[in-house]
Amino acid sequence: MFLLKQARKSATISRLTLLALFFLTPSYGTAAAGVQDHKTYHIALYRGQAGCSGCSEMVYKSLMKTGLPLDITYVGEAEKLKVNEQTLRSFDIYVQPGGGQDIPASYEALSDEGAEAVRNFVKSGKGFIGLCMGAYLAGKDWIGLVDTSMESEVGRPGSRAYDQGDYTLQIDWNNKREPFYYQDGPYMENGDPSDGFKAIAYYENGDIAMARYKYGKGTVLLSGPHPEADETWIDSTMPGNTTAESKMVRILSYFDIKK
């Protein structure tokens, strides 16, 4: 949700440098193979009052640094392209980033029209990535992409997040612990695999930190912590540190968008 640290402005990186980064970094490995098999992914990245200062830009930065074939466009109430059905027809994945502490106000900024457009977009076979506030908004009381309400990990039994401040938490992903930025994000309730549910990553207390769901023909991926956060937001000296771009490559590997 609201991020207490501001990201530094990123320098412009040439596409040649991005591609070199991708091919020379072994940690990306086979997770990127599924994404590379496709043509360019067209990603609609929300930026507006439902987000917070620097949140959308950090997602953009981490995605661009993957070096993957991505075409990323900001959408939102103050952007040239609004969140509506006509706009989303041109995209493969919609990203709802972190936001403030007020979920109703964030939903109001997105609007009923925007929420309906997102539902129909995903139902048709496209993808949704919800990060922190974006995961809260995906719950049944708001956009309604998942059939549960999202509750905060703060104060949960065994949680290392004791209040709404910012933390670097160790998240267990594929049996490997790595640091993530966290600030009052949700945990996910366990679901039925026959309905397309898959727990992806866990907080240290065993609560689900990241999960994949099916909605109609589409895929929904929700994360309580922030995989997009780079070293300007987290304690990168913690054991098992991985780059934001490597995390985002793995997130994109959970999508199989039909062209």
**Tens of pLDDT along 113-129?**
999 999 999 999 999 99
pLDDT at 101: 87
Averaged pLDDT, 124-135: 98
pLDDT digits (tens, 9 = 90+) for 189-223: 999 998 899 999 999 999 999 999 999 999 999 99
pLDDT digits (tens, 9 = 90+) for 60-79: 999 999 999 999 999 999 99
Q: Which CATH superfamily is domain 41-254 in?
A: Class I glutamine amidotransferase (GATase) domain (3.40.50.880)
Q: At residue 30, does pLDDT exceed 70?
A: no
CA distance 222 to 233: 20
- In the chain, the percentage of residues whose pLDDT exceeds 70 is 84
Beta bridge partners of 182: 167
